[in-house]
């Protein structure tokens, strides 16, 4: 507690001692200069101090303008600083762009709708706390829906291409974004044989069914690999069945599927029962 009872005798010698005991020390409450006092109490705010205990005083003074600013506006400045830091770090929700308030950021996670122009289409991506739930593309000239893909929950997705000449990269990118990296086929995808769709199509199903549809439409060359040495199956394309299938990895065929640990945090899609 602040020293409150010490009284320095009011003699020239004692005053000199007091000045030496509190050389340029300052009050912890109001930053008043305490040097030369004969009573161990700040004359400005009344706070007690111990001349022998420097933890009860300050070693340097704050300029008058700064002291006045802190005393009068300290709480407001602290709140303003908190708000600035909150908006900067998105601890407080804020628009991702000041000219478009449809997409917000909260703790770095997008919430709302992000739009972008891609060729002849305007694409809208719908986010909820960082997870993309739906992506839609509308023709820029007439604003008609060209294609969409959405997360239906429970690893179920619905993909619709309502017209021909839909970009394979656009659909694959949308599917990968909505599916996320929660489950992973474990394949490297090359340049598709068909860069755009030739007719409308639609599919609703799990990751295997949706990706199989994309393979039938665009014919992506894929290279299966294993994420770990102990991986029991890999995914590949079955030309006869025209769908993705899981192949057991045995000691005999393990060399056909080299290990690729570039994506070690992803989880392999389970093999169908």
Q: How far is CA 34 from CA 10, 12, 64, 74, 156, in A?
A: 15, 17, 15, 23, 74
Distance CA 245, CA 155 (A): 17
Residues 6 or more apart whose Cβ sits within 8 Å of residue 241: none
Contact yes or no for 6/34 (Cβ under 8 A): no
Q: What is the predicted pLDDT for the residue at 128?
A: 94
Strand order in the sheet with 109-118: 94-97, 100-106, 109-118, 121-128, 131-139, 145-151, 157-161, 201-205
Q: What is the predicted pLDDT for the residue at 65?
A: 64
Q: What is the predicted pLDDT for the residue at 99?
A: 84
Q: What is the predicted pLDDT for the residue at 52?
A: 82
- The residue among 16 and 188 whose pLDDT is bigger is 188
Q: Quick one: pLDDT band at residue 62, thresholds 50, 70, 90? A: low
Say whether 65 sits in a helix, a strand or coil. helix
Contact yes or no for 143/180 (Cβ under 8 A): no
Bridge partners (DSSP) listed for residue 135: 125, 149
What angle do the packed helices 207-218 and 168-179 form, to 10 degrees? 170
Could you state, in order of their start, the residue ranges of all structural domains in the chain? 12-88, 157-273
- The residue among 25 and 16 whose pLDDT is bigger is 25
Q: Quick one: pLDDT band at residue 12, thresholds 50, 70, 90? A: very low
Percent of the chain beyond pLDDT 90?
50
Contact yes or no for 119/169 (Cβ under 8 A): no
Q: Is the pLDDT of residue 112 over 90?
A: yes
Q: Quick one: pLDDT band at residue 5, thresholds 50, 70, 90? A: very low
Handedness of CA 12, 13, 16, 18 (dihedral sign): negative
Cα of first residue to Cα of last residue in the chain, in angstroms, is: 72
What 166-169 contacts at long range (C-beta under 8 Å, 24+ apart), as own/partner pairs, is 166/137, 166/196, 166/197, 167/118, 167/119, 167/195, 167/196, 168/192, 168/194, 168/195, 168/196, 168/197, 168/214, 168/217, 168/218, 168/220, 169/195
pTM exceeds cut of 0.85: no
Distance CA 260, CA 243 (A): 23
Q: Is the pLDDT of residue 263 over 80?
A: no
Distance CA 155, CA 208 (A): 10
What DSSP state is assigned to residue 56?
A: G
Q: What is the predicted pLDDT for the residue at 125?
A: 96
Length of the chain as a residue count: 273
Give the pLDDT confidence of 169-227 residue by residue, as tens digits: 999 999 999 998 778 898 999 999 999 999 999 999 999 999 999 999 999 999 999 98
Question: What average pLDDT score do residues 110-123 get?
Answer: 92
Question: What average pLDDT score do residues 99-106 get?
Answer: 90
């Amino acid at each position: 507690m602040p020293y409150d009872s010490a009284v320095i005798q009011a003699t020239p010698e004692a005053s000199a001692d007091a000045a030496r005991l509190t050389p340029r020390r300052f009050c912890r409450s109001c930053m008043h200069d305490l040097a030369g006092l004969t009573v161990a109490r700040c004359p400005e705010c009344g706070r007690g101090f111990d001349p022998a205990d420097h933890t009860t005083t300050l070693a340097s003074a704050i300029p008058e303008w700064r002291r006045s600013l802190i005393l009068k506006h300290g709480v407001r400045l602290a709140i303003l600083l908190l708000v600035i830091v909150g908006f900067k770090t998105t601890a407080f929700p804020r628009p991702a762009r000041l000219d478009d308030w449809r997409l917000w950021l909260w703790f770095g996670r997008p919430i709302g709708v992000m739009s972008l122009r891609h060729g002849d289409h305007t694409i809208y991506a719908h986010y909820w706390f960082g997870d993309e739930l739906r992506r839609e593309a509308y023709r820029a000239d007439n604003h008609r829906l060209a294609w969409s893909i959405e997360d239906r929950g429970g690893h179920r997705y619905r993909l619709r291409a309502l017209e021909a000449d839909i970009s394979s990269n656009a659909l694959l990118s949308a599917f990968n974004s909505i599916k996320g990296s929660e489950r992973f086929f474990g394949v490297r995808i090359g340049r598709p044989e068909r860069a755009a769709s030739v007719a409308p199509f639609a599919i609703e199903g799990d990751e295997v069914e949706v990706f199989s549809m994309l393979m039938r439409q665009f014919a992506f060359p894929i290279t299966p690999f294993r994420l770990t040495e102990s991986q029991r199956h890999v995914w590949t394309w079955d030309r006869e069945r025209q769908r993705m299938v899981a192949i057991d990895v045995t000691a005999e065929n393990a060399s056909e599927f080299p290990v690729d640990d570039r994506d070690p945090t992803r989880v392999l899609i389970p093999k169908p029962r």
